[in-house]
Structures are given as structure tokens and as C-alpha cells.
């Protein structure tokens, strides 16, 4: 299907020819192999590239006044990339985006030996909501829960909708004790939230299963998912509206699992050089 919001081929080709001329002028007299990425004008790029030993890259700032068609194409591509990882109903990360984030956070936890905790959540008796009030009401419930997750989590956390009424919350740099406090707060907020469905007001509850690495061993993403899912199943069987916790996956025999470790503190402080209103609001 043709997208009438995108610039014409002629406009794009014209601006690409201009960029090509600029590249030839900048590399005159030498043979250059370049990996070029179009960026918005950003004076920090040369220093950032030098810092990462990539100063041989050719950087072409993309000025919107000079290259409007390419700027619009770049924004369109970035928007499509974002939508591929987003659940359209709730605005949370979808399963694809969650899997990508999990890979990154496992790598980070392995490299810096920091904790990583995963919570799998499932709305209780959600089928009854759809059957009684209809799917539009069910959508309202899902959106309300997503809004609560976004408001209660930290900026470094990832909330995802990974199934129909199933959510995931990935907590980097967070040990089990701190994660449980956050999850208890989320569970309490969900329980007291009233959701309008026509003339009726609904209250819902959520069961949660939690699995955690302390940072002593590299996290296994499959094991995290399996153990969190098992814990969720136990929560459902034990009466719902509760949090069940898997044994810490890298605990050393005889250690106290409730200890707050320096690794977790270092991780959190490294992400926030100065306190913000968001972090103060969500401080345990």
C-alpha cells in the first residue's frame, strides 16, 4: 500500500546525491571505507566516537532544514522500529521487545555481576470479565493494569504484555527483597483500583511469580522464565491474588537470601547520577 506521508522518490534521490557530494568532498585525496548513519545535528558525536575508538567513522549530521525528505524518512523508519516492539493496546513492550530487552539485561548482569529479577503476572479470572462485560471492558482492564505498571516501576525497568492477560516485569540491578516490595505495592494498587465498564465498577486482582539472580552467576534467561512461570502457577493454585517466589537461582548454600548486596546498590547509583522526581516517587 502506498504511503502518502512519505517524501517522493525524487526528493529522496536529490538529497542523497547532495550527501554523496559532501562525502566525496570530505574524503578527497584518500580512499575511504565508511559506515554512515544519518543523524540529527549533534555536536557530541565526534567526541563520543573518539571515546569509543571509532573516530574513523564518517558522520553526516542530518539537518532537517537542508534534508527534509531524508529527515522524514528517518523518523518514519524509527517509528516503525518502535511499533514492532510495542503492544498497540497497552503501550507496553510486546513479547518481541521483551525478548530483546531480556537479552540485553542478561548481558549487562553477566558483565557487571549485578542482580536481575523477573516477575510474570497474570490477571485473575480475566475470562469471566470478558464473558460478563465483553471484550471492550476487558481491554479497559488491560490498559488500566498497564498504566499502573508504568507509574510504579522505575525508568530502568521493563514492563511487557507477553500474552492475552499475562504481563512481565524485568527488574535489572534488583535483588529479591527489593523486588518483592515493589511487587507488593503494585499488587495493592491494582486491588484497590476501580475500572469503569459501562454503569459498573470492576476491581481485579493479579497473581505473580518471581525468579531472581543475585549476580553471582550469569543469568540463564530460559531458566528465569521457567522458574518465574512455575512460581506464578503456584500462586494460582494457592488461591490467586498472591506473590510466589522461586528459590534464588544463584544463591550459595548457607547465605541469607534477604541480604542487600553492594552490587545492587552500585547498579542503581550508576543509572541515576542525581535523584529525580520519578526515582524519589518510587523509592522503597
DSSP assignment letter at 53: T
Catalytic residue among 15, 165, 227, 244: 165
Q: What angle do CA 40, 45, 51 make, to 5 degrees?
A: 160
Q: What is the rounded CA–CA span in Å between residue 97 and residue 199?
A: 36
**Cβ pair 281, 128 in contact under 8 A:** no
- Is 2 one of the annotated active-site residues of the chain? no
Residue found under cell 454503569 = 199
Nearest-Å Rg of the Cα atoms of the chain is: 24
Q: What angle do CA 74, 78, 81 make, to 5 degrees?
A: 140
Other Cβ atoms within 10 Å of 159 Cβ, number: 25
Catalytic residues: 165
Amino acid at each position: 500500500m502506498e504511503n502518502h506521508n512519505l517524501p517522493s522518490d525524487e526528493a529522496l534521490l536529490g538529497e542523497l546525491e547532495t550527501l554523496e557530494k559532501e562525502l566525496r568532498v570530505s574524503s578527497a585525496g584518500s580512499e575511504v571505507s565508511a559506515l554512515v548513519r544519518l543523524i540529527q545535528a549533534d555536536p557530541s558525536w565526534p567526541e563520543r566516537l573518539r571515546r569509543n575508538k571509532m573516530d574513523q567513522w564518517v558522520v553526516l549530521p542530518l539537518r532537517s532544514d537542508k534534508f527534509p525528505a531524508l529527515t522524514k524518512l528517518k523518523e518514519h523508519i524509527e517509528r516503525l522500529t518502535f511499533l514492532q516492539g510495542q503492544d498497540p493496546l497497552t503501550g507496553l513492550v510486546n513479547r518481541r521487545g521483551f525478548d530483546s530487552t531480556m537479552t540485553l539485561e542478561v548481558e549487562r548482569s553477566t558483565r557487571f555481576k549485578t542482580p536481575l529479577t523477573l516477575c510474570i503476572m497474570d490477571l485473575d479470572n480475566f475470562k469471566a470479565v470478558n464473558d460478563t462485560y465483553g471484550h471492550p471492558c476487558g481491554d479497559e482492564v488491560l490498559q488500566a493494569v498497564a498504566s499502573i505498571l508504568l507509574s510504579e516501576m522505575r525508568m530502568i525497568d521493563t514492563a511487557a504484555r507477553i500474552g492475552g492477560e499475562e504481563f512481565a516485569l524485568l527488574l535489572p540491578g534488583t535483588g529479591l527483597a527489593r523486588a518483592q516490595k515493589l511487587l507488593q505495592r503494585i499488587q495493592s494498587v491494582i486491588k484497590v483500583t476501580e475500572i469503569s465498564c459501562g454503569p459498573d465498577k470492576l476491581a481485579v486482582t493479579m497473581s505473580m511469580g518471581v525468579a531472581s539472580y543475585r549476580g553471582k552467576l550469569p543469568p540463564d534467561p530460559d531458566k528465569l522464565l521457567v522458574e518465574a512461570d512455575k512460581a506464578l502457577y503456584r500462586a494460582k493454585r494457592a488461591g490467586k491474588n498472591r506473590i510466589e517466589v522461586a528459590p534464588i537461582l544463584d544463591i550459595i548454600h548457607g547465605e541469607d537470601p534477604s541480604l542487600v548486596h553492594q552490587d545492587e546498590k552500585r547498579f542503581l547509583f550508576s543509572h541515576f547520577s542525581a535523584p529525580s522526581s520519578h526515582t524519589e516517587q518510587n523509592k522503597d
